[in-house]
Chain A
Amino acid sequence: MELLNNLGINGKLLLAQIVNFLVLLFILKKFAYGPVLKMLNDRTKKIEKGLKDSEEARKKLEEITEKEKEVLKKAREEAQVIIKNAEDQAKANAVSIVLEGRDQGEKLIINAKKQIEQEKNKMMVEIKSEVAELVARATEKIIGEKLDSGKDRELIEKVIR
């Protein structure tokens, strides 16, 4: 006890210091370590989440870009096919239209020719008959006598033929 006294160790003071330290420990645990460590954890989690989210967003963006490219490519291909089809169709149509036109033209020409022929024939007949009449009348005047009507005609027709 003498030794402890010389060293300044005093039971009451020792107890006071122990209590003091325990109170300090309790308060620090409650007000400093707990909240600070929680905050550190929260921050770590938040940063991790943020990084993960950004990575995901980047991936998604890449995916979307890829998809977009694909869609564009497909659309272009489809457009090409459609244009090609249309061109083919148009070409085929053009040929058929030309052919039809030609046919029709030919038909028209043929018809016109036929009509002309008919007209001509008709005219010929008319002219012939008129000429025969005229000739007959002229001959009659010249000859002064009228031939037998039947013979007359026969003769004239033989002449003009």
Chain B
Amino acid sequence: MEISLAAEPLFHIGTFTVTNTLIMSLILSCVIIVASFILKKKLKLIPKGFQNIIEYIMEAFLNLVDSVTHNRKQSEIFFPIVMTIFIFVILSNWIEIIPGLGTIGINETHEGKTILVPFIRSASADLNVTLAIALISVFFVQFLGIATIGISKYAGKFFVSPLRKPYLVGTFVGLLEIISEFAKIISFSFRLFGNIFAGEVLLIVMLNLVPYFVPLPFLFLEIFVGFVQALVFAMLTLVFLKMATVEAAH
């Protein structure tokens, strides 16, 4: 049993390393895209089955976004980002509950040892994926912040003149704000990565120790954790978006 912090490489295309998480996230994206095509094709005014579920989820999320923004127009701008993050993260979290985790793979000889390289690994258990989503999330926060309240006002949140009212305190707070923007990226990516990676390790260990019945509660726990982490990621993005688009109250 070999557990690696980094995603395991499966093969190489030129200098590009293709890892199992990359394959997983590509498959996941394809599934989501195909599902969305089917949805668009079958979209009817009177909903049925699949469309009902999707509409229910989307409406619930839209209401959630509305409850934060209190503004339908802004909600419609935030909604795609938040919803996509939620869908992608929750599904990539749930990859780990697919049977075959840590067992199906190819044997590779590495430095004289035979290592099993698994095919299935949660996309979220790879820092590249979580960091990518965190970067996109923070990028949209900055971008929409600037687009909504203007670059000068937005920059005014971070660069405060030491000669103005709270004087040096204001400047210091502005500096902290800059650091917190970078901290957002790190906390986003490591929170999700840590949770899902830990869950996956837990599941692999449990499956190896007691293969029958005992891992079941942990599987349910991982379903729950996957949902919570996706919700946290999406909600935090939403809140950061809202905060960035509100003018600083000095």
Per the bound structure, the CA–CA distance linking A121 and B232 in Å amounts to 141
Q: Is the interface of B mostly helix, strand, loop or mixed?
A: helix
Q: Contact at B7–A36, with CB atoms within 8 Å?
A: no
Chain A residues lying within 8 Å of B19, measured Cβ to Cβ, are 13
Give the contact-size bracket for chain B. 35 or more
Q: Among residues 63 to 103 in chain B, which have CB atoms less than 8 Å away from a CB atom of chain A?
A: 76, 79-81, 83-84, 87-88
If over half of A's interface residues share one DSSP class (helix, strand or loop), that class is named, otherwise mixed; here it is helix
B residues 1-28 touching A (CB-CB < 8 Å): 4-7, 15-17, 19, 22, 25-26
Inter-chain contact A8/B40, CB cutoff 8 Å: no
- Is A20 a contact of B5 with CB atoms below 8 Å? no
A75 to chain B: which residues have CB within 8 Å? Answer: none
> CB distance B132 to A14 under 8 Å?
yes
State A42–B79 Cα separation when bound (angstroms).
18
Provide the residues of chain B in CB contact with A21, threshold 8 Å: 84, 88, 132-133, 136
The reply to whether the CB of A59 lies closer than 8 angstroms to some CB of chain B is no
Question: A9-B127, A14-B128, A32-B39 are known contacts. Are A39 and B80 too (CB-CB below 8 A)?
Answer: no
Q: What is the 8 Å Cβ interface bit string for chain A, positions 15-43, against chain B (1 contact, 0 not)?
A: 01110111111011101110111011011
Residues of B within 8 A of A36 (CB): 39, 43, 54-55, 58
In the assembly, what is the distance between CA of A39 and CA of B236, in Å? 28
A8 close to B45 (CB less than 8 A): no
Q: B84 to A8, Cβ gap below 8 A?
A: no
- Which of chain A's residues have a CB closer than 8 A to the CB of B88? 21, 24
- 8 shortest interchain CB distances as A-B pairs: A8-B6, A17-B132, A32-B36, A13-B128, A29-B80, A31-B36, A18-B132, A25-B84
Q: Name 8 extra pairs, CB < 8 A, besides A12-B15, A17-B133, A28-B83.
A: A16-B128, A20-B26, A25-B80, A31-B39, A33-B80, A35-B43, A37-B58, A46-B45
